[in-house]
Chain A
Amino acid sequence: QKEVEQNSGPLSVPEGAIASLNCTYSDRGSQSFFWYRQYSGKSPELIMSIYSNGDKEDGRFTAQLNKASQYVSLLIRDSQPSDSATYLCAVFSGTASKLTFGTGTRLQVTL
């Protein structure tokens, strides 16, 4: 089992819709969770961080964390073509002391 799993996609949503990106992780001791966005040919940029169960909202983005289910998600409301990118889920395991990335989900927002 991979440490951090994401569906590779592509996930295609129409402009204005809600995009839902999901991630599961295997280490129950994980404590910090991050979502990064990576455009083709560019380095990842941090979008959201979440540390406790529940929802965290920042503009059009909402991160959701459920530690019991070992599940973290990212919702993008009012999706725009400029949101088209690969979204990387990253989990920091205190035991391993390193940040582990999922393989990323490619999002396509269509006009």
Chain B
Amino acid sequence: GAVVSQHPSRVICKSGTSVKIECRSLDFQATTMFWYRQFPKKSLMLMATSNEGSKATYEQGVEKDKFLINHASLTLSTLTVTSAHPEDSSFYICSARDTGFNSPLHFGNGTRLTVT
């Protein structure tokens, strides 16, 4: 089955620093990847859709200058949380769809970000 790898699984950083999260599709090419955020006991919230070779599409209310997304190849998308603050502490999850109509989303293992 399709495998999505996400790294790091856990990161602690100081307020004001930037953190980069990588998402890779290991056995398929993903022209589109999706970045989600989840607070404890809350539902998944789509942040942005990452498109290979073009700009990401951000959901309403998500700051594109704060959450930088780069999708430079068909197997790699990155999310950079810039100038992180404690309120950015959350569980970030990437996902990708295999090619083919009706194919499901496969999720990475997620990154737990803690900003101190």
Contact = CB atoms under 8 A, between A and B. Distances in A.
B105 A34 contact: yes
Contacts, number: 41
B99 to A, nearest CB: 14
Contacts of A46: 104-106
B109 A42 contact: yes
Interface residues of B, number: 17
Contacts of A41: 91, 112
Interface string B94-113: 00000000101111111010
B59 to A, nearest CB: 9
Interface in A20-49: 31-32, 34, 36, 41-46, 49
A63 interface: no
Nearest to A35: B104
B110 A43 contact: yes
B79 to A, nearest CB: 14
A45 to B, nearest CB: 7
Overall SS of chain B's interface: strand
B105 A45 contact: no
Given A42-B109, A43-B109, A101 B104 contact: no
Contact of A43 (B49, B93, B102): B93
23 contacts: A31-B102, A32-B104, A34-B105, A42-B110, A43-B6, A43-B93, A43-B107, A44-B44, A44-B93, A45-B107, A46-B104, A46-B105, A46-B106, A49-B102, A49-B104, A88-B43, A88-B44, A90-B104, A92-B102, A98-B34, A101-B43, A102-B43, A103-B43
Interface of A: 31-32, 34, 36, 41-46, 49, 51, 88, 90, 92, 98-99, 101-104
Enumerate the 9 nearest inter-chain pairs by beta-carbon distance, A residue then B residue, closest first. Answer: A103-B43, A43-B110, A43-B107, A32-B102, A43-B93, A34-B104, A101-B44, A49-B104, A44-B107
